[in-house]
A and B are shown apart, each in its own frame.
Chain A
Amino acid sequence: GNSVTQMEGPVTLSEEAFLTINCTYTATGYPSLFWYVQYPGEGLQLLLKATKADDKGSNKGFEATYRKETTSFHLEKGSVQVSDSAVYFCSHTGGFKTIFGAGTRLFVKA
């Protein structure tokens, strides 16, 4: 069935470190792929998206590339800040259902 698998957290980094959060998916057809971010006490916010193979989504210094051959959509950022501390969710949408991964908590230390 359809699913999304993310690397387990928490991930703890120092400020200005490089971030990678892995995400792989299983799906029928060619879903759109998304990363959402959740700050404490808030709902999820769309961070970036990609709708077809080889598309790169980017926003606020974060990037992710839709890799159909490896069914992956890894999130990267070159230099994290304390304000990036949050929970990150990978998801895909096929039809009218969006499937989310379990989320990866990121802590960034000053």
Chain B
Amino acid sequence: NAGVTQTPKFQVLKTGQSMTLQCAQDMNHEYMSWYRQDPGMGLRLIHYSVGAGITDQGEVPNGYNVSRSTTEDFPLRLLSAAPSQTSVYFCASSYLASGGANTGELFFGEGSRLTVL
């Protein structure tokens, strides 16, 4: 019963380095998304996808890239890390209702804590 799996759980980067946060779900959910959680700011949407080959920007997309080649996987790429990207990152997925509407019932991974020095 894996649900949403994120790796790595912890990562330390130096400014300018690149890395990919991995996210996989085994629930056959069409919708997947990435959030960052910062103290006092709740969760902010970075990017989302409604199916393989379809992605779109959220509230705070700058500095992040995503792709969706399969239903199961939705990696988040930081091409040149900055200290402002120090945060806890959450991947979340959900099913779409008939007709393609978003149900909003998100299933979250356990998070990836990223520190950029």
Q: Given A43, A49, A95, A96, which contacts B111 in the complex, CB threshold below 8 Å?
A: A43
Contact B108 A44 (CB under 8 A): yes
How many inter-chain residue pairs (CB < 8 Å) link A and B?
58
Q: How far is the CB of A26 from chain B (nearest CB, A)?
A: 15
Q: Is the CB of A98 within 8 A of B45?
A: yes
Q: Which residues of B contact A66 (CB under 8 A)?
A: none
Is A102 engaged at the interface, CB distance under 8 Å to the other chain?
A: yes
Q: Which residues of B contact A (CB under 8 A)?
A: 4, 31, 33, 35, 40-45, 48, 50, 56, 58-59, 90, 92, 102-111
Interface residues of A (CB under 8 A from B): 4, 32, 34, 36, 41-46, 49, 89, 91-93, 95-103
Given contacts A43-B90, A97-B58, A98-B106, contact A89 B43 (CB under 8 A): yes
A102-B102 contact given A43-B108, A96-B50, CB 8 Å threshold: no
Is chain B's interface secondary structure helix, strand, loop, or mixed overall? strand
Beyond A42-B110, A43-B109, A45-B108, whether A96 also contacts B102 by CB under 8 A is yes
Contact, CB under 8 Å: A93 / B110: no
Indicate if the CB atoms of A97 and B48 lie closer than 8 Å: yes
- Asked if A95 contacts B102 (CB within 8 A), the reply is yes
Question: What chain B residues lie within 8 Å of A100 (beta carbons)?
Answer: 35, 42-44
A97 touches B105 (CB 8 A): no
